[in-house]
């Protein structure tokens, strides 16, 4: 499909992403592409996406998640350019002309990332819906550990005591879940991952001590106990809500499609951004002597 219209989105009105955006604009317009620009800091609501063929997000992983949420997890493919630190969901920076050439030549591959949906019931009885492409976290909101009951497809899995639980997508498996001891899940594996946060070890608590990878068709329900003493905080891709009583998590039913350059390899990215490469014997920081 020919690229005719693009939305270039970035969060801040100043900084490296904002400085690069006009060069992308100019290079794309020179190739006959209609360009819209959206800066979330200056205009909270995104422009209409009617007729937009592609969205380019300039920023880091946090910017990507914030933009996806603001755009309501669109069907339009998204190309992220890394102006953050890790940028696991993003692509490397390119000069404006090189990036415009790649986007218009369509030399890219698409990765489908599942989106999870959660319905949170607050202590007031109100229900609120959330979506996340990275992860949900149900965690303690005070100095007390949380007591949780976790059900998988209606079956009680565990009565848990500890700091909380992370429910992540494969795309989010390299974030908080990994830091808590969860596995990295390849993006071709479609599922959701439950990882405990600092579970209590004594056998009296019987707390979940290991992560569990579930099919994407699963439905997860988590209920809090003793909430007056042990209040809960619920975090959806970094956005937090307090006074939560329970949550129900399921597949949103529509993935987001993130574009990668044609030479992208997941394992290579994992090594480069997460594991790091160890020098071969005889090699030093400058390639050995």
Token digits for 265? 């390899």
Write b or e for each residue in 214-253: b if 16 or more Cβ atoms lie within 10 A of its Cβ, otherwise e. bebebebbbbbeebeebbbbbbbbbeebeebbbbbbbbbe
Query: According to the model, what pLDDT value does residue 160 have?
Result: 95
Which residue in the list 61, 135, 237, 251 is annotated as catalytic? 61
Query: According to the model, what pLDDT value does residue 1 have?
Result: 62
Residues 6 or more apart in contact with residue 110 via CB below 8 angstroms: 77, 257, 258, 259, 260
Query: According to the model, what pLDDT value does residue 107 have?
Result: 80
> Do residues 248 and 221 touch, judged by C-beta distance below 8 A?
yes
Domains annotated on the chain, with CATH: 5-113+255-275 (3.40.50.10330), 116-251 (2.60.200.30)
Query: For residues 96 and 94, what is the distance between their CA atoms, to the nearest angstrom?
Result: 6
Query: According to the model, what pLDDT value does residue 257 have?
Result: 96
Query: According to the model, what pLDDT value does residue 267 have?
Result: 92
Nearest CA-CA partner of 33 in 107, 102, 136, 93: 102
Query: According to the model, what pLDDT value does residue 281 have?
Result: 65
pTM beyond 0.75 = yes
Write b or e for each residue in 265-274: b if 16 or more Cβ atoms lie within 10 A of its Cβ, otherwise e. eeeeeeeeee
Query: According to the model, what pLDDT value does residue 204 have?
Result: 81
Residues in the chain with pLDDT values less than 50: 285-289
Query: According to the model, what pLDDT value does residue 105 have?
Result: 86
> Do residues 140 and 147 touch, judged by C-beta distance below 8 A?
no
Query: According to the model, what pLDDT value does residue 277 have?
Result: 77
Query: According to the model, what pLDDT value does residue 280 have?
Result: 62
Query: According to the model, what pLDDT value does residue 16 have?
Result: 93
61 a catalytic residue: yes
């Amino acid at each position: 499909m020919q690229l005719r219209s693009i939305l270039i989105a970035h969060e801040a009105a100043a900084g490296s992403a904002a400085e690069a955006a006009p060069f992308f604009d100019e290079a794309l317009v020179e190739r006959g592409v209609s360009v819209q620009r959206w800066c979330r800091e200056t205009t909270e609501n995104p422009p209409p996406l009617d007729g937009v063929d592609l969205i380019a997000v300039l920023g880091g992983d946090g910017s990507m998640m914030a933009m996806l949420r603001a755009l309501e997890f669109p069907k339009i493919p998204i190309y992220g350019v890394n102006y953050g630190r890790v940028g696991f969901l993003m692509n490397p920076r390119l000069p404006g002309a090189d990036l415009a050439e790649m986007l218009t030549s369509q030399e890219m591959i698409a990765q489908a990332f599942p989106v999870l949906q959660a319905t949170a019931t607050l202590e007031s009885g109100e229900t609120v819906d959330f979506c996340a492409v990275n992860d949900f976290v149900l965690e303690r909101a005070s100095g007390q550990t949380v007591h949780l009951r976790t059900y998988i497809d209606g079956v009680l899995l565990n009565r848990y005591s500890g700091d909380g639980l992370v429910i992540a997508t494969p795309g989010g498996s390299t974030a908080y879940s990994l830091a808590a001891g969860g596995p990295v899940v390849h993006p071709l594996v479609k599922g959701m991952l439950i990882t405990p946060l600092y579970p209590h070890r004594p056998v009296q608590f019987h707390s979940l001590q290991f992560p569990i990878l579930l099919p994407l068709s699963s439905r997860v329900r988590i209920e809090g106990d003793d909430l007056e003493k042990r209040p809960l905080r619920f975090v959806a891709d970094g956005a937090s809500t307090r006074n939560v009583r329970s949550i129900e998590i399921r597949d949103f039913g529509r993935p987001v499609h993130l574009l990668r350059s044609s030479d992208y390899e997941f394992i290579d990215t994992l090594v480069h951004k997460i594991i790091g490469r160890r020098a071969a014997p005889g090699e030093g920081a400058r390639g050995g002597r």
